[in-house]
């Protein structure tokens, strides 16, 4: 008998009286996770249960006995605390925000932010690492700033794996199930209470999807779930785990995120005009937006593409192509053959959207290429990563000099209130007031850190370190009990680490390029550093390797094995199951954060930023964000940004540099303490670090930059194109077709400059050209001179562009042009001429294949 057919299902929820209803309200808005009064309220309910539920208030309320909840009504202290928190949440939701104050309140902009993972809190484990944490912090700051933004992601039944280590230090994985009904989530339902469900049919797959909502302050995050009884077993697995399965499963997940995400929003009555793709996973959303627009307005693919491109933003986080999803064309055929036929474009044109060279049949379909081709704005996540990305993707814009490739950068940040310790927050409020909370980007407020007495700042640092040591000991003890260690070994766990010693942290994803074992290259020298009785040092490690990454797992094993050696037993600790809780303790408690990636493989990195907000100092290779953050007096740089061909040699050089820095600078600096025990010069470095880094590396600054440089310009461009019944979009598409048809007849007949071999600096050089345009009207092209200093290979470096004026119509579609270059620098110079289409409204319009150099 099939008992599942007879099974009636219902959800049991805690019965909260009116007086306690606010508990429910607060627990379902993740605002509580960055508001210390709210977390203190939940901890107060039952400290032990708060810990065992991974700080999940919804699960905790479900477990607490009804009598306990009833008893709270008579606890005046608790009720006053609850009233305070409830009022704080109301005030937060009603306060006037940066977005409203900045004059955009009347705008009709609606932003949707798509990401494969979101790291909001450890109780909602749907993240694996930096990409997810960044997405979570992005939503929190969007809420603080009042942006009209919604998030879209997937709701994983098992999330990312949990980690434990066996006796050998080898990583083991397990996948506990997430119970959605005991998480701070609500299932979206219609007015009759029926769950909102939509169907996706792609290739051979056809499945139903539920939509869940997580409220993140003012911002809703919608998560899609295929674990429905009416779906087949294999379709229920689509949202089982983050980053698992083969290429086909990855593609289906990305179809669900991009195309399913757009459909889910429409079902909820949300039609975004700006969509932000956080990494290439979400790029299919651009195709769905084009399809919907074509169907609704009866326009062609190229016309719809102009509008959709204007309203798409793409952020790439990857400095190597291997880290980006590529799919074989036959996999696209399997899933998209029925989908793209309505586009009215050929199969090769469709596959070409994901190829750097659309004509190369051997090239696979790349999600980042699709995103770059269908986004009006694209950016990397640090200045260095912007340079790396322009170099990496320059083939998409083959006629442009590398520095003019339209791929900018917006450096990552972190959400201040999520990552700063309560201790540090209270200290800053005492001396800085609350302005830094309302506007974390104001440099003047952070300069007041100079006024904090050294002894107080140092005491805050010490208490945070003590808290971390206490946490590490407890976690180590739990780890040892789990693997059946001896009583003696468990007792030792209570003595590891010294709350007074210089504490250095290293915690991140264990990918090989992050070089987690660089520190272990010379273990004799390391032992001497760590066990110096006058100046002891200790290291705390944490991090997960991808389940398929054997090399990454081997790095973890080597660190754990080293920590078992007698000489390192009290000085090196590896905390397993790295998550947001472990990360919070580490970034709040360490004195120094170690970061040793192979440059330029770290696109940005954000863990070191979190440390800075807590008074910790960075010791890092000049890669990612640290190239911008390091100023000589606010931390340490390993090396000077050199990159060697031979990786082993690079490891050798930077390994030695790391030991030298520790022995000669970092450790003596820390232990140079006055008679009162305060290391004055160390505290001065802490202050310099906080003053220079805190106002810059916050997600408030980052999200404001996205708003000002991407979201609002995108929306304005989109609005111009759709106004007057899409008049400008249709005109632009027709104009491009006409220009591209006539473009083969355009050529430079003559170009020159009135300059001898030597020109005085500061003088102006006249340049002239004769251009044949065929049937193209002269006002529909721009003739430009590209001018600058030559490098050793004879290429112009960082050139500038000067527009030449039309001087004379020579007849037969031939024109003469002229202009002036100003020679502002000494050295060997060169100039080149180029012709680019120019639209009456949008100015110069570059598309691959339609720019002529002469």
17 pLDDT exceeds 60?
yes
Task: Give percent above pLDDT 70 in the chain.
Answer: 98
At 238 the pLDDT is 96
1 pLDDT exceeds 70?
no
Contact 817, 767 (CB under 8 A): no
**Residue 758 or residue 97, greater confidence:** 97
Q: Taking residues 814-843, what's their average pLDDT?
A: 86
Rounded CA-CA distance 480/448 in Å is 45
**What pLDDT band is residue 19 in, cutting at 50, 70 and 90?**
confident
182 pLDDT exceeds 70?
yes
- Report pLDDT digits (tens) over 261-283: 999 999 999 999 999 999 999 99
581 pLDDT exceeds 60?
yes
Q: Where are the alpha helices (DSSP H) in 124-195?
A: 130-145
799 pLDDT exceeds 60?
yes
- Report pLDDT digits (tens) over 406-450: 999 999 999 999 999 999 999 999 999 999 998 899 999 999 999
**What pLDDT band is residue 12 in, cutting at 50, 70 and 90?**
low
351 pLDDT exceeds 90?
yes
Selection from 163, 276, 28 nearest residue 579 by Cα: 163
Selection from 541, 476, 472 nearest residue 505 by Cα: 541
At 795 the pLDDT is 79
Contact 322, 368 (CB under 8 A): no
- Report pLDDT digits (tens) over 497-510: 999 999 999 999 99
- Report pLDDT digits (tens) over 507-543: 999 988 899 999 999 999 999 999 999 999 999 999 9
Rounded CA-CA distance 751/110 in Å is 48
DSSP 547-560: TT-HHHHHHHHHHH
Tokens of 567: 């000489």
Rg (CA), the chain: 29
- Report pLDDT digits (tens) over 72-96: 888 999 999 999 999 999 999 999 9
At 164 the pLDDT is 92
Which residues, 6 or more positions from 91, have their beta carbon under 8 angstroms from its beta carbon? none
At 775 the pLDDT is 94
Beta-sheet pairing, 592-595 with 502-507: parallel
Q: Taking residues 795-807, what's their average pLDDT?
A: 84
Residue-averaged pLDDT of the chain = 93
At 13 the pLDDT is 62
Three-state SS annotation for 47-90: HHHHHHCCCCHHHHHHHCCHHHHHHHCCCHHHHHHHHHHHHHHH
Tokens of 510: 């264990």
Q: Taking residues 170-198, what's their average pLDDT?
A: 94
**Residue 697 or residue 827, greater confidence:** 697
At 722 the pLDDT is 95
**What pLDDT band is residue 760 in, cutting at 50, 70 and 90?**
confident
At 9 the pLDDT is 60
At 407 the pLDDT is 96
- Report pLDDT digits (tens) over 697-723: 999 999 999 999 999 999 999 999 999
Rounded CA-CA distance 396/354 in Å is 11
């Amino acid at each position: 008998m099939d008992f599942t057919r007879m099974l009636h299902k219902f959800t049991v929820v805690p019965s909260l009286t009116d007086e306690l209803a606010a508990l429910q309200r607060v627990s379902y808005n993740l605002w509580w996770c960055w508001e210390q009064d709210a977390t203190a309220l939940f901890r107060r309910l039952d400290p032990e249960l708060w810990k065992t539920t991974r700080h999940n208030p919804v699960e905790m309320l479900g477990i607490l006995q009804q009598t306990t909840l009833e008893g709270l009504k008579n606890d005046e202290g608790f009720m006053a605390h609850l009233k305070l928190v409830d009022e704080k949440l109301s005030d937060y939701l009603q306060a006037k925000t940066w977005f409203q104050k900045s004059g955009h309140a009347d705008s009709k902009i609606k932003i949707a932010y798509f990401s494969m993972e979101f790291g909001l809190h450890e109780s909602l484990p749907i993240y694996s690492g930096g990409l997810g944490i960044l997405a979570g912090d992005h939503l929190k700051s969007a809420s603080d700033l009042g942006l009209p933004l919604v998030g879209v992601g997937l709701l994983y039944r098992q999330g990312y794996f949990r980690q434990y280590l066996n006796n050998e230090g080898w990583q083991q994985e397990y996948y506990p199930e997430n119970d959605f009904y005991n998480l701070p989530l609500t299932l979206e339902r219609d007015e009759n209470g029926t769950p909102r469900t939509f169907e996706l049919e792609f290739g051979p797959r056809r499945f139903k999807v539920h939509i869940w909502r997580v409220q993140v302050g003012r911002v809703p995050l919608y998560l899609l779930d295929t674990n429905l009884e009416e779906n087949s077993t294999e379709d229920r697995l689509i949202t089982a785990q983050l980053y698992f399965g083969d290429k086909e499963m990855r593609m289906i997940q990305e179809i669900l995120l991009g195309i399913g995400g757009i459909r889910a929003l429409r079902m909820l009555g949300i039609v975004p005009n700006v969509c932000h793709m956080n990494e290439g996973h979400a790029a299919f959303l651009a195709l769905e937006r084009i399809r919907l627009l074509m169907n609704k307005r009866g326009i062609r693919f190229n016309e719809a593409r102009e509008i959709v491109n204007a309203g798409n933003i793409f952020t790439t986080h990857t400095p190597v192509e291997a880290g980006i999803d590529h799919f074989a064309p036959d996999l696209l055929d399997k899933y998209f053959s029925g989908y793209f036929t309505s586009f009215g474009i050929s199969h090769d044109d469709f596959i070409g959207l994901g190829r750097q060279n659309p004509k190369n049949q051997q090239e696979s379909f790349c999600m980042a290429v699709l995103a770059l081709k269908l986004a009006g704005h694209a950016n990397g996540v640090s200045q260095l990563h912007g340079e790396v990305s322009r170099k990496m993707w320059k083939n998409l814009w083959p006629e442009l000099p590398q520095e003019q490739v339209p791929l900018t950068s917006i450096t990552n940040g972190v959400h201040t209130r999520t990552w700063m310790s309560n201790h540090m927050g209270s200290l800053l409020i005492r001396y800085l007031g609350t302005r830094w909370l309302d506007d974390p980007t104001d440099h003047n407020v952070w300069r007041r850190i100079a006024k904090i007495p050294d002894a107080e700042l140092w005491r805050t640092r010490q208490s945070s370190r003590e808290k971390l040591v206490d946490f590490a000991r407890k976690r180590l003890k739990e780890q040892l009990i789990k693997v059946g260690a001896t009583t003696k070994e468990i007792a030792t766990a209570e003595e590891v680490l010294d709350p007074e010693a210089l504490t250095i942290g290293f915690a991140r994803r264990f990918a090989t390029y992050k070089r987690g074992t660089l520190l272990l290259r010379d273990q004799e020298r390391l032992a001497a550093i760590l066990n110096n009785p006058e100046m002891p040092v200790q290291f705390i490690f944490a991090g997960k390797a991808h389940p398929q990454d054997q090399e990454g797992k081997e790095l973890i094993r080597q660190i754990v094995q080293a920590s078992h050696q007698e000489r390192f037993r009290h000085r090196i600790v590896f905390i397993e199951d790295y998550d947001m809780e472990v990360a919070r303790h580490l970034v709040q408690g360490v004195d120094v954060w170690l970061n040793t990636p192979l440059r330029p493989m770290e696109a940005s990195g954000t863990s070191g930023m979190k440390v800075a907000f807590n008074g910790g100092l960075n010791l890092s290779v000049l890669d990612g964000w640290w190239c911008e953050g390091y100023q000589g007096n606010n931390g340490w740089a390993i090396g000077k940004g050199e990159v060697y061909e031979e990786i082993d040699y690079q490891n050798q050089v930077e390994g030695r540099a790391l030991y030298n820095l520790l022995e000669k600078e970092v450790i003596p600096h820390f232990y140079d303490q006055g008679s009162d025990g305060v290391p004055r010069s160390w505290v001065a470095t802490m202050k310099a670090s906080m003053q220079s880094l805190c106002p810059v590396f916050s997600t408030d600054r980052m999200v404001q930059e996205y708003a000002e440089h991407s979201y609002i310009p995108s929306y304005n461009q989109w609005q111009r194109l759709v106004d007057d019944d899409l008049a400008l979009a249709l005109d632009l598409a027709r104009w491009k077709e006409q220009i591209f048809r006539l473009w083969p007849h355009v050529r430079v007949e003559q170009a020159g400059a009135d300059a001898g071999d030597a020109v005085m600096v500061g003088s102006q050089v006249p340049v002239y050209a004769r251009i044949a345009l065929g049937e193209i009207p002269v006002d529909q092209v721009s003739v430009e001179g590209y001018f600058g200093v030559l490098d050793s290979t004879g290429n112009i470096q960082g050139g500038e562009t000067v527009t030449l004026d039309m001087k004379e119509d020579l007849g037969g579609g031939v024109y003469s042009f002229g202009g002036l270059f100003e020679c502002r620098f000494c050295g060997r110079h060169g100039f080149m001429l180029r012709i680019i289409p120019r639209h009456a409204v949008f100015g110069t319009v570059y598309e691959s294949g339609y720019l002529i150099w002469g």
